[in-house]
Structure 1
Amino acid sequence: MAAYPDFPPRLLRGYSAFRENRLPHESARYRILAEAGQRPRTMLVGCCDSRAAPETIFDAAPGELFVIRNVANLVPPYDPDGEYHGTSAAIEFGVMGLKVRYILVMGHGRCGGVQAYMASRDAPEGADLGSGAFIGKWISLIAPAEQLVCEDPVDAAERQRALEFASVRQSIENLRTFPSIKNLEEIGEIELHGAWFDISTGELHVLDHETGHFNIAAP
Structure 2
Amino acid sequence: MSTDLPESAVPPPTDSSESSSAPTRRTFIATSTAVGGVVLAGGVIGGTLLGPEEAGAAAAAPSSRVSLTVNGTRRTVTVDNRTSLLDLLREHFDLTGSKKGCNAGACGACTVLVDGHRVNACLTLAVRMEGAEVTTIEGLADGDQLHPLQQAFIDEDAFQCGYCTPGQIVSGVGCIQEGHTGSPEEIREWMSGNICRCGCYTKIVRAVEQTAGRK
Greater length-normalized contact order (CA 8 Å, ≥ 6 residues apart) = 1
**What is the TM-score normalised by the length of structure 2?**
0.25
Q: Which has the larger radius of gyration?
A: 2
**What is the TM-score normalised by the length of structure 1?**
0.25
